[in-house]
Structure 1
Amino acid sequence: MPRDAVLGVDIGTSSSKGVLVGLDGTVLRSAVREHTVDRPAPGQVEMDAEVWWDELVSLSRELTDGGDAEVVAVGASGMGPCVLLTDADDTPLRPAVLYGVDTRSTAQIARLNAELGIEEIRRRCGSDLSSQAAGPKIAWIAEQEPELYARARRLYMPSSWLVRKLTGAYVLDHHSASQTTPLYDTVAQQWYAPWAGRIAPGIELPPLRWSGETAGTVTAEAARRTGLPQGIPVITGTIDAWAEALSVGAHRPGDLMLMYGTTMFLIHTVPGLLTDPALWSTVGALPGTRNLAGGMATSGAVTGWLRELFGKPDYAELLQLAEASGPGANGLLMLPYFAGERTPVMDPQARGVIAGLTLSHTRGDLYRAALEATACAVRHNIEALEKAGGDIRRVVAVGGGTQGGLWTRIVSDVTGRPQELRTISIGASYGGALLAAQSVTDASIDVLSDAWNPVCETVTPDPGNAARYEELYGLYRDLYPASADVVHALAARQDR
């Protein structure tokens, strides 16, 4: 007899992932669909939303094909905040504009800051406007593509688009809405009509739900396409990093999640509203929770870029070479700002820098320098979180970059922080499955996350590396201001 299971699907920057999970947390099957984003111009990063639905259909068909499990609920998450505008018939009008890696809206940010007031935006919305905010990207489309925008009626993100396709429901979770700054009032936890009507005129903003609430049930047409049973519940879902935090139980006050992926993301759960111009303040995925968050524009993207340059050797080989290079990468220092930088630098015109290169440096040195650059950026963000009033008592690491051990060890050595690793590091798709399971059981998310995914290892700092990394971090902090003028001039040439 088939066992009851839940399906979790996550739409990421470089791939979509699906996982079929028994109600006891056992991973029955998982699958991946790789894809690419489009970069039509410098600073612009987009994706065709039809890919999101096609890949969910494909993943669902593959994962449920065995006949040994009966799916009883579905959870979806995705990268964000993104801006997908559709017409009244839900036809996408253009490719979706992606999250903070897309930096096209600098002029709109400056204009909205002048019109609405930086302090007032921060007070009402929790965060300053930055490349992460969805509101200015909507304004960019309205200004740069007015004929297209005139037909826009609805706003979607990856998770809410999948919910719409599966159930017909038009909803968005509170957390995702809190990253549409300045459309959402994070104090009142609702859309702020005066600014929403001004920045997104004509858009019917979606009703708001919490991530684990049921958005609707699978329609007959969606069941035909996906192979899922008609009528089973689909949760509202959320942005991938927040689903990933839930997947490893990092959602309690004092917790900090580090997500090792194409980008590095940090989510710190705080007991109340905290704001800081160098960070993002959001409502959490769960009712009653709030977060201070940070994110790098690149991390795994840089190591992937290096791998391409090196002729695509196995990552295991590169990690071995980086291990042999040793702390400090034989005198190399990198700034990982290859796509601008988000928190706490907040500089879309920042660029990558590799300092100290000689003819004797090797692939291992360069790869090690990239890992150490990410670790230094993590420490910079942690310092900003604590300066803003955060109280970090536990660090939990998750994501593909935790595999192999070296990267997490370097981050612990540079930051001086232990990191918990959970048994399952699949990530956001597993978090979506967790939320789906909560919707059909009586168990709380705390009980489920600890039972499904217990701690398997704690990475601790090596005291022998502390002095060397303390010196390296000081040089890292000095390098950005020392090189900023030159880098900005080069970025301007790239934008021509």
Structure 2
Amino acid sequence: MHAMLSIDIGTTSTKVILYNGNGQVAASANNGYPLYQTTPGMAEENPADIYQAVLTGIQTVITACPDLSVGGLSFSAAMHSLILLDDTYQPLTRMYTWADNRAKQAAAAFRARPDAHDLYVRTGTPLQPMTPLAKICWLQKTQPALIQATRWFADIKSYVLYRLTGQFVLDYSLANATGLFNLHELNWDPLALKIARITTDQLPQLVDTTTVLTGLRPELATKWQLDPQTPIVVGASDGCLSNLGLNALQPGVAALTIGTSGAVRVVTDQPQLDAHGRLFCYYLAPDRWVVGGPVNNGGNVLAWVRDQLFTPERDHYGKQTLAYLSDLIAQVPAGSHGLLMHPYLNGERAPLWDANARGAYFGLTAQHTRADMARAALEGVTFNLYHVAQLVQQLTGPFVSLQATGGFANSAPWRQLLTDIFDMPVTIPTNFESTCLGAALLGWQRLGDVTDLTASAEFVGPETTLQPDPTAAATYQKLAPLYTELARTYQPLFQQLAEFH
């Protein structure tokens, strides 16, 4: 096979992995960038920082393997990003990430429209502030001069690909997550564009996820010692490619990811839409669609626990604090001595779809310890994903297996409590970078190295399958309904709290 450079432009960092001709990792790099959150609801990043992380990552892995001839590049990127560009493709703004919630009033206005459900059915995207559709409407109202100065509305991948090749394109998969794309017609949606008050000639050219670009800018080709005509496969969104990289393609095979945020997803052969608009449906490749629900609160909740409840340990142990917490959590029994946590520290997407959602501990007593609070936080994140999984199964059918990946898998106690809460075997690949592998597989298929995406089974590598502990699983089956009922009870108060804040 061709050696493949896989570039995953993520929310907090860009990962670059060079796979050799046997599909094995030859070299990797991971470069982060700052997130700006100086006002409530804000979550922005500098496009120049992200582009530099892409360049640095590619340079690092190519330098590490001077004898390996790169046969292609393939891209993944986080969903829902938005950058406003001028007529020379220079950014007029930072990049608004999916986590930016300032468009919540625009999203609420969508949901109040008489054609709200029709808009969801056309786009497959829940009507929430995460979407570029909502962000453009918010900017139309709050910064009309900025909108007037804008020539192009881009996402981070279309921006990076333009900087690399001079071609301004967006794949169906990421376009599907903008709220501006008609998933039935595979084109920009007239109703959504009318709501946003923009036109198709302000948006990138739509292309399939297997589209190949050529014409790497000469200065970059020279620097990396690549042929300027090296194929660049446009690729798809990170969530969709994670399913591919986990070999979660068959009916009933679900993928669960917990990184900074999290998601539960399954692949179907045609679009499937939730009657209540609670789940997304996004394009992966011809005849492959990904149905699921994303959550805002994943590993970032554990980071909050570390920083707010275990500050002395963080300062003492440094990067080893998470290993310390993992050992501590393992000593607390399932159910955290009757303590529940709603992990909505950053608002919430699925299953609540409420930007005003707030976190809470329930059942706290004088006998509870920091260790109980830490375990309850991880249980809360996992209960929330379990709730999302129940919604997905109502739409697509019961899960027959669960493939899990993400940074959470570095914690043995978290892996086990996930298995116990879902009360089913959970398979975890040794290679956690499922999105990069998914991008590489899409590239290999496009270049003819693999005949079908189901070949992903050959590349996932060694796996570990965990079995639920019957006692812990029984405990969680009792607590799960209580967790959900508490969320339902207190959700009407979230807006009042947010207004007070």
Partner of 1:95: 94
- Evaluate the alpha carbon distance shift between residue 200 and residue 234 of structure 1 in structure 2; reply closer, same or farther with a 3 A threshold: farther
**Residue pair 2:154, 2:203 contacting (<8 A) in 1 also:** no
* Letter matched to residue 220 of structure 1: P
Distance 1:359 1:58 in 2: 50
Partner of 2:127: 129
Shift of 1:175: 1.4
Distance 1:69 1:20 in 2: 9
The alignment partner of 1:65 has SS state of: helix
- Evaluate the alpha carbon distance shift between residue 51 and residue 445 of structure 1 in structure 2; reply closer, same or farther with a 3 A threshold: farther
Distance 2:114 2:493 in 1: 32
Matched, 1:187 2:184: yes
Distance 1:460 1:278 in 2: 33
Partner of 1:386: 393
Give the alignment of 1:106-255 within 5 angstroms: 106-115=104-113, 117-181=115-179, 183-201=180-198, 204-224=202-222, 228-255=226-253
Distance 1:227 1:143 in 2: 47
Partner of 1:269: 267
The alignment partner of 2:265 has SS state of: strand
- Evaluate the alpha carbon distance shift between residue 296 and residue 51 of structure 1 in structure 2; reply closer, same or farther with a 3 A threshold: same
Distance 2:457 2:6 in 1: 18
Matched, 1:459 2:466: yes
**Residue pair 2:329, 2:371 contacting (<8 A) in 1 also:** yes
Partner of 1:52: 50
Shift of 1:278: 4.6
Deviating more after overlay: 275-284 vs 414-423: 275-284
The alignment partner of 1:388 has SS state of: helix
Give the alignment of 1:272-421 within 5 angstroms: 272-276=270-274, 277-309=276-308, 310-311=310-311, 312=314, 313=317, 314=320, 315-421=322-428
Partner of 1:442: 449
Distance 2:289 2:169 in 1: 20
Distance 1:405 1:490 in 2: 36
- Evaluate the alpha carbon distance shift between residue 128 and residue 19 of structure 1 in structure 2; reply closer, same or farther with a 3 A threshold: closer
Flag the structure with more relative contact order, 1 or 2, with Cα contacts below 8 A and sequence separation at least 6.
1
Shift of 1:447: 4.8
TM-score normalised by L of structure 1: 0.93
Deviating more after overlay: 143-152 vs 199-208: 199-208
Distance 1:214 1:253 in 2: 29
Cα deviations by residue, 1:327-371 (Å, 9 ceiling, x for unpaired): 111221100111111111111111110122334433322221111
The alignment partner of 1:324 has SS state of: coil
Distance 1:305 1:442 in 2: 44
Partner of 1:71: 70
Matched, 1:484 2:495: no
Cα RMSD for the two superposed structures: 2.1
Shift of 1:73: 0.8
**Residue pair 2:119, 2:191 contacting (<8 A) in 1 also:** no
Distance 1:159 1:103 in 2: 21
* Letter matched to residue 161 of structure 1: Y
Unaligned runs of 5+ in 1: none
The alignment partner of 1:285 has SS state of: strand
Shift of 1:97: 1.1
TM-score normalised by L of structure 2: 0.92
* Letter matched to residue 456 of structure 1: E
Deviating more after overlay: 116-125 vs 254-263: 116-125
Unaligned runs of 5+ in 2: none
Distance 2:467 2:383 in 1: 16
- Evaluate the alpha carbon distance shift between residue 155 and residue 361 of structure 1 in structure 2; reply closer, same or farther with a 3 A threshold: same
**Residue pair 2:33, 2:50 contacting (<8 A) in 1 also:** no
* Letter matched to residue 473 of structure 1: A
The alignment partner of 1:7 has SS state of: strand
- Evaluate the alpha carbon distance shift between residue 255 and residue 207 of structure 1 in structure 2; reply closer, same or farther with a 3 A threshold: farther
**Residue pair 1:73, 1:232 contacting (<8 A) in 2 also:** yes
Shift of 1:398: 1.3
* Letter matched to residue 199 of structure 1: A
- Evaluate the alpha carbon distance shift between residue 34 and residue 361 of structure 1 in structure 2; reply closer, same or farther with a 3 A threshold: farther
